[in-house]
Amino acid sequence: MPYYSLALDIGATKTVGAIVINNKIIKLIKKPTASSTGRFKILKNIEQMIKDLIAQKEVAGLKLKEIGVGLAGQINQKDGLVISTTNFSSDFKNIKLTKILTDKFKVPVKLNNDVKCFTLGEARFGIGRGYQNIIGLTFGTGIGGGIMINNQILTGKNNTAGEFGHMKISGHWLGPVHVCGCGEKFCFESVASAKAWLKLAKKFNENKANEIVAHNIAIGLQNLCQILNPEIIILGGRLIKQEKILVKIKKEFLNQTKHYPWLKNTKIVATKLGSEAILLGSLI
């Protein structure tokens, strides 16, 4: 009997579910994550998304092989554990999500941080093909990161290497600095995420928001390049869908790295696969 896989991209704002056959996405469903509604409801929504995918006519007569989950949080991949999340309700932490889903659906479940999945997906199937040293960043409600060095995803002790959103940035803001979802001030994501952009666009205008956020993003990228020396930086998330901001980020990055010839050829590109990178990467 032919097989299919399911992949979920669970962000703080929306959840995307996909049916995947032979590394190709053949059906997508989107729903709000309702991440502020509490642990019980969020888990119910995840289970319902999987049930909805299994019920699609495209997979009638096929057998479910596996489920991949990319989640916007800190994940202990070995234990299939959601350690914590900063943009979900405060009780959505310390959850053995792999066990919950394996018990329910009786198939192997892979769980990883969404942007590690994004970086893997782009490296294998997208614009990162052929590169061995890649940084992936996504700019949505928060900022997520994935690091691939010499073809290996860096994990660190708790698989949380790449939590770029909470590194501290003394960027521009033009107003009182607000507190990040993690409880701290001056986090990268509180001055450079899509959420930060929206606040600035409301306060000033879109051009000013682009200018400030691009400047802040370029500071973050410059720091990451000094530490990790990637060949290519792949940017994704809803903020990057605007062509104008990508142009500004590249310009700011060149400006901020002009004294560092060793960073001269670092490529900055927009994602090719978008959220499909997370979905395909969750099954790797």
Angle, vertex CA 135, rays to CA 132 and CA 138, nearest 5: 140
> For Zn ion, which is the closer residue by CB, 109 or 224?
224
> For Zn ion, which is the closer residue by CB, 177 or 247?
177
Helix (H) or strand (E) holding 6: strand 3-10
Residues 149 to 168 in contact with Zn ion, rule: CB under 5 A: 166
> For Zn ion, which is the closer residue by CB, 166 or 195?
166
Minimum distance of Zn ion from residue 263's CB (angstroms): 26
Q: Give the Cα separation of 145 and 77 in Å (integer).
A: 16
> For Zn ion, which is the closer residue by CB, 216 or 282?
216
- Residues binding Zn ion: number (CB under 5 A): 5
> For Zn ion, which is the closer residue by CB, 105 or 186?
186
Contact with Zn ion (CB under 5 A): which of 20, 50, 180, 209?
A: 180
Minimum distance of Zn ion from residue 85's CB (angstroms): 12
| φ, ψ at 187 (rounded to 5°) | -70, 150
Does residue 62 touch Zn ion according to CB under 5 A? Answer: no
Contact status, residue 64 vs residue 54, Cβ threshold 8 Å: yes
> For Zn ion, which is the closer residue by CB, 56 or 84?
84
Contact status, residue 97 vs residue 38, Cβ threshold 8 Å: no
Alpha carbons within 13 angstroms on the beta-carbon side of residue 100 total: 17
Minimum distance of Zn ion from residue 180's CB (angstroms): 3
Helix (H) or strand (E) holding 243: helix 243-256
Interface region with Zn ion, contact rule CB under 5 A, candidates 69-77, 119-127, 177-185, 205-213 = 177-185
> For Zn ion, which is the closer residue by CB, 131 or 186?
186
Interface region with Zn ion, contact rule CB under 5 A, candidates 14-22, 175-183, 224-232, 242-250 = 175-183
Helix (H) or strand (E) holding 260: none
Residues in contact with Zn ion, shown as a per-residue x/- string from 184 to 223 under the rule CB under 5 A: x--x------------------------------------
Angle, vertex CA 232, rays to CA 226 and CA 235, nearest 5: 100
Q: Give the Cα separation of 159 and 278 in Å (integer).
A: 17
Positive or negative torsion for Cα 162, 166, 168, 173: positive
Minimum distance of Zn ion from residue 282's CB (angstroms): 24
Helix, strand, coil content of the chain in percent (nearest 5)? 40, 25, 35
Contact with Zn ion (CB under 5 A): which of 29, 64, 83, 182?
A: 182
The pair of three-digit structure tokens given for residue 72, joined into one six-digit string: 């916007």
State the residues that interact with Zn ion by CB under 5 A: 166, 180, 182, 184, 187
